[in-house]
Amino acid sequence: MEENKMGVMEIKKLIMTMSLPIMISMLVQALYNIVDSMFVARVSDNALAAVSLCYPIQMIIVAVACGTAVGLNALLSRYLGQKKPKEANQVALHGILLAIVNWLIFAIIGIFFSEAFLRLFSTDQEIVAMGISYMKICTIFSFGVFMQITYERIMQSTGNTVYNMIIQGVGALVNIMLDPIFIFGMLGLPAMGVTGAAIATVIGQIVAMLLGIIITQTKIKEVQIHLREFHLELRMIKDMYRIAIPAILMQSIMSFMTVFMNMILVTFSELAVSAFSIYFKLQQFVFMAVNGMNNALIPIISYNFGAKKKQRILDSIHFSLIVACVIMIAGTIIFQCFPQQLMYLFDANEEMMNIGVPALRIISLSFIFAGISLVLSAVFQSVDHANKSLMITLLRQMVLLLPIVYLLANQFGLNALWWAFPITEAAVSILAYIYLKIVKAKTIMKISQKA
């Protein structure tokens, strides 16, 4: 059986050829998140506030989808590296089952708990009403995003990442094209505002899902997905979630961080919440580039971990850290030099500009430290040290960050609280480096080297 390219291709070339399509697809994803907000901001300040308050729920949906898919990705790549195609096929089928179960859970949450969630943050009836409509649509029809991400990770596990770019690109293009039609009312349709933005989003996700299914079934030969061959194995689900649960928690923590940040920021003004939401969507362009590389890095390291190729693992870690630092430095320069121009994309008025410009400049000082932590978290997930990834993320997003935010906000005011981000990221990156030394000594260097 011919060796998969993840076990033989030169590491720098492998990482870049697998990463670039994922980076592009994730940057496109970030683009249509921003386009959504840009269109909604032109409806009203309340419309932008409603979507901003719902954004953590969308992040949790993606966190559960991506986190579960990390378990699928790592386990599937490992079986492929061990030349066990039947087990790999079963992992893929179990991943599809879990995607369906997760969708049903969020559909129930959306139907019964949307109003209660929105009223935690606002008493404005218009904001609450728009938020309920947006949240219900995004949760009830979330099967699109769950299945789309599952099929993307199946492709990534086999080393095929160009298809990911196509799938996400098509989904994003559909969303962007439909946004003005549904939001402002075109082609004979009524103006639906925030509701229209939600409809455009889920249609784009469903189109991407269908495309992912078609491509996987017709183009991906390493994995054969036949529902009639599925047989439930609780052990396999346990193995997947042993990797997936820390990944879900890591990505969900960011959502909870946003919720708590909103609770702190709303004490200053609802504009502060919107300004932070704008920052968060802008920084996705930087962070998603690194996360795109990490999505390629996890199957590469997992495959070579399964194939016991120690040097390829070490080379992957070293090169990925260099690439992440370059990306983050570039992002920092952009945020430092052009914060006003970035805020103008969202029709920022003078008050929002006074909040947003300092936020962009101060928080961007944390980017290079965050890049180091993100890459090392992916490494730990790939070599059975997911608990260390979870600890890093807990500290970055909750345990260390939020108390510092609260302290700075109370002692020094709104503009000072942004310094919590660079302080936290610098401290956690040092811990991540210490963890790397431990993982190398305990796990990676003890691998019996294969050719």
Domain assignment of residue 346, yes or no: yes
- pLDDT for residue 451: 41
Coil, helix or strand at residue 119? coil
Over the stretch 366-422, which tens digit does the pLDDT of each residue have?
999 999 999 999 888 888 787 888 889 889 888 899 999 999 999 998 889 999 999
CA 83 to chain centre: 30
Domain assignment of residue 2, yes or no: no
Residues 286/367, Cβ–Cβ less than 8 Å: yes
Residues 114/132, Cβ–Cβ less than 8 Å: yes
99-126 b/e (C-beta count within 10 Å ≥ 16 → b) = beebbeebbebbeeebeebbeebbeeee
Cα separation, 156 vs 297, in Å, equals 10
42, burial (CB in 10 Å: exposed 0-12, middle 13-18, buried 19+) = middle
- pLDDT for residue 6: 64
| Cβ atoms within 10 Å of 302's Cβ, excluding its own | 28
Helices of type H across 185-226: 193-219
Domain assignment of residue 1, yes or no: no
Over the stretch 225-250, which tens digit does the pLDDT of each residue have?
777 777 788 888 887 887 777 777 76
What residues make up the domain containing 119?
9-446
Contacts of 170 (CB under 8 A, 6+ apart): 207, 208, 211
Task: List, for the chain, all residue ranges whose pLDDT scores fall below the cut of 70.
Answer: 1-4, 6-8, 32, 159-161, 250, 449-451
* Number of domains, the chain: 1
- pLDDT for residue 62: 85
Q: What is the DSSP string of 2-62?
A: PPPHHHHS-HHHHHHHHHHHHHHHHHHHHHHHHHHHHHHHTT-HHHHHHHHHHHHHHHHHH
Domain assignment of residue 44, yes or no: yes
Domain assignment of residue 3, yes or no: no
Helices 85-118, 234-265: crossing angle, 10 deg rounding: 30
Cα separation, 242 vs 171, in Å, equals 31
Q: What is the pTM assigned to this prediction?
A: 0.69
165-193 b/e (C-beta count within 10 Å ≥ 16 → b) = bbbbbbbbbbbbebbbbbbbeeeeeeebb
Helices 234-265, 367-382: crossing angle, 10 deg rounding: 160
- pLDDT for residue 287: 87
- pLDDT for residue 1: 46
Number of helical (H) and strand (E) elements in the chain, helices listed first = 18, 0
Cα separation, 149 vs 293, in Å, equals 16
Domain assignment of residue 405, yes or no: yes
As given in the structure block, the two tokens for residue 262 are 């909103």
- pLDDT for residue 4: 61
Secondary structure of 245-288 as H, E, C letters: HHHHHHHHHHHHHHHHHHHHHCCCCHHHHHHHHHHHHHHHHHHH
H or E element: which one contains 164? helix 162-184
- pLDDT for residue 372: 95
Summary mean pLDDT of the chain:
85
